[in-house]
Structure 1
Amino acid sequence: MSCKRILSPVCAALALTLCLSGCGDSQEAAASVTPQPLPTASAAPTLSPTATPDPTPTPYDGPENPLTGMPIDGDAVNKRPVAIMLNNLKQALPQLGQSEADIIYECLAEGGITRMLGVYQDPSDVGAIGSIRSARPYYLELALGHDAIFIHAGGSEDAYADIRAWGVTALDGVNGPYCGSSPGSNLMWRDADRRRNLGYEHSVITTGETIEEKFATYSFRQEHKDGYTYPITFADDGTPENGSTANTITVPFSNYKTGVFTYDADSGTYLVEEYGAPYVDGNTGDQVAVTNVLVVQTSCWNTGDSYGHMEVDLTGTGSGYYACGGQIIPIRWSKPDRNSPFTYTDENGQPIVLGRGSSYVNIIPKSEQVTAE
């Protein structure tokens, strides 16, 4: 803002000397005098403000969330993350707390429906989370890849068998001692409003505060095992080089479910839609937004049982896509075994560097066609 200093005008007095010989002559002479203009005040000078240079921001060098590259409390860095099964049936929406997950994995569950696995490095500040649903073996593999504590409500027979065989730290809200009758009475409970309005099977929830409180009383390992590292790196700008335009990405899972990701340049994130509407967090009403969109294409097949349960092959390598900053590239993914996390490279074998922020990983059948425009 410029400053102006206004200078006060100086008025000059006019002196007129009239020689008059009589009263009549005096009046005539006075009438013939031409008034002189008053002096004009000098224009006020404009003072230019002294520019103050913006201070150079100090680069952040504190602890980072290993799942997002974002700042985090140092005490949480080496904790085992919490992986929570999230229901995604239309009639069970809205989900709660999913917008605050560091990573959302979405896979087919049975038939054409999908479920999510929300992974939280530190869920303590998240409000309600849910609704929580049952496990499948490949969701266990995702949790194991993060050395995570797995929270679910029920599961398929093979999932229960694998929990025991694979040594998964799994906390079950249906066939385990972790579901109470009222908020905060146990790790999970059935929410009365959701039970009444959405149905019994869509009502199991927890909260971040409850997770923190109850975990403090449990005896299982809550720090990462020795030698565990999450091998993904992050940058302030994760836009892939030599990418194609990806302002809208369409990711089909089945005839029942298609995901749509629309790039918002103002926030630098992808806004998520499903079932033809914004994908919202029921805690806030806000649309879910993520920095990174990944697609993993792999073999998915129906097991042929009476429930239409699916199998999803997560071990090995395959192709997919990575999008950030409105650009998309083809990638290769790798997961050597059930206990390893996903890693991602470009087609030349160079590791993908993600943008700082949350990620959405779509695991879809090889037969489905991803489009970007």
Structure 2
Amino acid sequence: MKKTLIPMVLSLSLLLSACGGGDPDPTPSSSPSPLPTASATPSPTLETIPPDYDGPVNPLTGLPISEEWVNRRPVAVMLNNLKEALPQLGQSQADIIYEAPAEGGITRMVGIYQSLENVGTIGSIRSARPYYLELALGHDAVFIHAGGSEDAYAKISQWGVTSLDGVRGTYLGSSENSNLMWRDPVRRQSYALEHTVVTTGEAIIQRLPTYDIRLEHEDGYTYQMDFVEDGAPTDGTDATEITVPVSTYKTGKFLYNEDTGRYAVEEYGSAYIDGNNGQQVEVTNVVVVQTTIRNTGDALGHITVDLSSGGSGYFACGGKITELQWSKRSPSGQFYYTDANGQPIQFGVGTTYVCIVPTSCQVSFS
């Protein structure tokens, strides 16, 4: 039986805005163009630690990783999620995917990558808002984006964000692989121009050392995420299907796959596809963060997302779901998650998807 956890979602009656960098967002279409054909077959790769492994692990997933990447600052990439811009590229290789609303009820993602090894094309890359900056700062990450609201640009300076910007910065090339970012020539044939900015893992690896930025975490930096082989909450309720209606425009679903031990992700009524391989994205952990989201009242329809006051939410892993409490002490603070007893959440070894939604959002499961 389906169970409703919190009250009915209130649609955000917001206008879409133009990005501060002169990169306008199209209004969500009631009849979006068809998505490119892709396979909904999930990746067969299991997210597990080999028996007796005692080597370095990725601090964002608990999985094995090359020693050289363990103390690196991760890279956070701002990802477009408008229907007309799908499929996204390379998001299935992110260690953590954050999804949060933007204007008009649409959402965007921030993909966090601890290692860029063997990561293909990433995109399409879009513009920032202040709360997306907070997500990157929470990981001490290098932030890659293409444009931003005027408030985001002000906060980049105020908060000391390591920002690599493809609009007001010098990081967008005129041809493929000519810079950190470029407009993909294939996407330019069938997508609006604002949906064409991409990068690759290799481009990031090659170019980051040439910039005057810090590449390693400072001494003593630690993550507040703990991983265990079986992260299913012991007090959890069965949840093989989780529905998260962020707004009237976007609803996400997470379907538990017993064969892989992960949740297959859906959005807009279809599989959430990585355009690099045509496969459906799967994650080990699903987190729902409830918070206050308000319209700023400006002419561009911008919103504010409160990531500093803390609140409640949900954690799912291994086909089970439970309530959590979250906190984030400052723009640069990490998310800290605890269970109903105040104990830190233990994540299952593997990737994580974090949905940031209004407090009014109706989350249901069955």
TM-score higher than 0.5: yes
Shift of 1:70: 0.2
Shift of 1:196: 2.3
1:352 corresponds to 2:349 = no
1:103 corresponds to 2:92 = no
Write the distance in 1 (CA, Å) between the matches of 2:314 and 2:71. 29
Write the distance in 2 (CA, Å) between the matches of 1:134 and 1:227. 32
Deviation digits for residues 312-355 of structure 1 (CA, Å, limit 9, x no counterpart): 00002200000000000001011111111101110110111000
Write the distance in 1 (CA, Å) between the matches of 2:319 and 2:68. 34
- Paired letter, 1:121: Q
Write the distance in 2 (CA, Å) between the matches of 1:128 and 1:145. 24
Partner of 1:205: 198
Q: Residue 280 of structure 2 aligns to a residue in which SS?
A: coil
Instruction: Give the TM-score of the pair, scaled to structure 1.
Output: 0.84
Partner of 1:41: none
Matches within 5 A, 1:1-373: 58-373=51-366
Q: Residue 321 of structure 1 aligns to a residue in which SS?
A: strand
- Paired letter, 1:354: F
CA contact 2:79–2:88 (8 Å) conserved in 1: yes
Shift of 1:181: 1.1
Moved beyond 4 Å, runs of 4+? none
CA contact 1:63–1:77 (8 Å) conserved in 2: yes
Write the distance in 2 (CA, Å) between the matches of 1:121 and 1:320. 25
CA contact 2:77–2:125 (8 Å) conserved in 1: yes
Shift of 1:262: 0.1
CA contact 2:209–2:215 (8 Å) conserved in 1: no
Write the distance in 2 (CA, Å) between the matches of 1:175 and 1:78. 29
Write the distance in 2 (CA, Å) between the matches of 1:198 and 1:176. 23
Write the distance in 1 (CA, Å) between the matches of 2:76 and 2:281. 18
Q: Residue 320 of structure 1 aligns to a residue in which SS?
A: strand
CA contact 2:176–2:185 (8 Å) conserved in 1: no
Shift of 1:94: 0.4
User: Gapped runs of 5+ residues in structure 1?
Assistant: 1-56
Q: Residue 321 of structure 2 aligns to a residue in which SS?
A: strand
Q: Residue 88 of structure 2 aligns to a residue in which SS?
A: coil
Write the distance in 2 (CA, Å) between the matches of 1:353 and 1:244. 16
- Paired letter, 1:267: T
Shift of 1:58: 4.5
Partner of 2:10: none
Deviation digits for residues 282-321 of structure 1 (CA, Å, limit 9, x no counterpart): 0000000000000000000111122211110000220000
- Paired letter, 1:363: I
The answer to which structure, 1 or 2, has the higher relative contact order (CA under 8 A, 6+ apart) is 2
Partner of 1:27: none
Shift of 1:218: 1.4
Q: Residue 84 of structure 1 aligns to a residue in which SS?
A: strand
Deviation digits for residues 209-244 of structure 1 (CA, Å, limit 9, x no counterpart): 000011121121000022321111000110100211
Write the distance in 1 (CA, Å) between the matches of 2:321 and 2:228. 16
Instruction: Give the TM-score of the pair, scaled to structure 2.
Output: 0.86
Partner of 1:11: none
Cα distance, 1:87–1:58 mapped onto 2, change above 3 Å: closer
Write the distance in 1 (CA, Å) between the matches of 2:189 and 2:169. 23
- Paired letter, 2:175: S
Write the distance in 2 (CA, Å) between the matches of 1:157 and 1:125. 34
Deviation digits for residues 50-98 of structure 1 (CA, Å, limit 9, x no counterpart): xxxxxxx842110000000000000100000000000000000000000
Write the distance in 1 (CA, Å) between the matches of 2:293 and 2:277. 34
- Paired letter, 2:285: N
Across the aligned residues of Structure 1 and Structure 2, the Cα RMSD in angstroms comes to 0.9
Q: Residue 187 of structure 2 aligns to a residue in which SS?
A: helix
Stretch of structure 1 that moved more, 261-270 or 209-218 = 209-218
Write the distance in 2 (CA, Å) between the matches of 1:316 and 1:301. 14
Write the distance in 2 (CA, Å) between the matches of 1:234 and 1:200. 41
Q: Residue 273 of structure 2 aligns to a residue in which SS?
A: coil
- Paired letter, 2:323: P
Cα distance, 1:367–1:58 mapped onto 2, change above 3 Å: closer
- Paired letter, 1:356: V
Write the distance in 2 (CA, Å) between the matches of 1:174 and 1:310. 21
Paired residues, number: 317
CA contact 1:111–1:302 (8 Å) conserved in 2: no
